Structure 1
């Protein structure tokens, strides 16, 4: 019986060495990356605090997943140009200059503002169930019919500017846990509709990402239980002051939600 045990031990050691080599190579690859972080407020880190003084109204945070990844991996270069309120046109016109043929890693979230995320949330918080459902329906229609072409333009431009880059496009989480622990705020009819809108948006983004040959990072699973009204610690703000941080990930949402999904994508 000793021989099989000894053989298994050798195999285990060999596998361990292989894994060690793999992770070391991955770490070295990260250290040599030329990383550009594009996108909207979810990538800028709005809601996570600790904003960089030179980012102005873009509100880029040192707690954003991109910045946390940079701190952990020490890439060769890091350009952080994500900006609060950005739409697809803003990425095309104001952010793509950060890319070049030497860029090896790109991350972004984009599309939520194009589909009217902010105004839809305002309607759902301040108006009736029917007004909320109508606003969500309009946002979903935009996401399904207009947004695909806009995303295609962004992804094509990224590929053209950074042909050698690994591009990770991250999605948006559900904002609410249905039948959750909240005693106040909007009801479950509105909460469910808002979550369904996130599903529609993520489905559209994931399809366009796949067509572009990029990687989609789905954050809905990792945020489960940590939504507003969630059963665990909440990773998303509800209504806040300043108001622009409402319905955005907090520092924990960036560190424990977005960062792991990006790192594994």
Structure 2
């Protein structure tokens, strides 16, 4: 009996060690498990760098933060909210409206000034990086501008983008995947001590047929773009998983807070914003929801 008990104790120990190792692995590979032990960001220590596009910079939701003015960076975007909670020794937000993965390693010209390559802000002393990118590589908003229709049953964008058996948005998502992977590898090279969190896109469109004519897109296009955004988020999560990063899922908590929800509930504004925000972009409530998703990955309340 004693021999069997000892063997069981060894098995339990192996299982516990395995689970602890699995928790470490899952942080490194994209879950919201507790981050590994290491350099902390917060409480007056560490350096937090925020990279991203307009869903990160959050145009028009608050006062302008930093330069250039053309990046439309607000002082109440999710990086600022995360920083206010963490209180790092250094905080740098270089997100910029219109940014693509190319603008992480190359300068971005805006309508009012030039944003340096965003990766320039990532240094060896950096201990936390958040990354929100990919939507402009796929071109969601450039396509969406031509989708308005007077027929709520029409789907002009889906019909055009899937003509000939192709799926242009799916192809663009696939083409963006290696670019995101390369960016994550570069971040790790530049900041080997840093925790990295990829931030997904919130739920922009509702389940179902939408809210035509308030959002003048036909039911088919609503379904098509909703599905494409889901594919983009899945790709971002997979790249985070494969490249030692956490993933902040903002779509799940954002469900029911889409452009068709009540004005006092929505996280993302419609074509005619009811709250300060750019059209089809997060408002201040949405940026808070995105900040909460990041803090959840970091295991902070």
Query: In 2, are the aligned partners of 1:123 and 1:132 still within 8 Å (CA)?
Result: no
Aligned residues: 237
Cα displacement (A) at 1:96 = 0.7
Which string of whole-angstrom CA distances, capped at 9 and with x for unpartnered residues, describes residues 112-145 of structure 1?
100111212112236951333433731221102x
Match of 1:140?
170
Matching residue of 1:186 = 217
The farther-off stretch of 97-106 and 45-54 is 45-54
Structure 1 SS opposite 2:148 = helix
Distance 1:248 1:219 in 2: 13
1:209 aligns with 2:232: no
Contact 1:175–1:194 (8 Å) recurs in 2: no
Residue in structure 2 matching 1:122, options 129, 136, 145: 145
1: CA distance, partners of 2:169 / 2:155:
15
Matches within 5 A, 1:100-249: 100-125=123-148, 129-135=155-161, 137-144=167-174, 146-179=175-208, 182-184=211-213, 185-230=216-261, 233-240=265-272, 245-249=278-282
Residue 105 of structure 2 aligns to a residue whose secondary structure is: helix
Q: Name the structure with the higher helix share.
A: 1
Unmatched tracts of structure 1, length 5 or more: 1-21
What is the alpha-carbon distance in structure 1 between the residues aligned to residue 71 and residue 119 of structure 2? 16
- Given the two structures, how large is their TM-score scaled by the length of structure 2? 0.72
Q: Alpha carbon RMSD of aligned pairs, Å?
A: 2.5
TM-score (ref. length: structure 1) = 0.82
Contact 1:120 1:135 in 2 (8 A): no
* 1:217-249 per-position Cα deviation (integer Å, ceiling 9, x unaligned): 1111110111011267111111147xx921110
- Aligned residue in 2 for 1:91: 104
Distance 2:72 2:238 in 1: 29
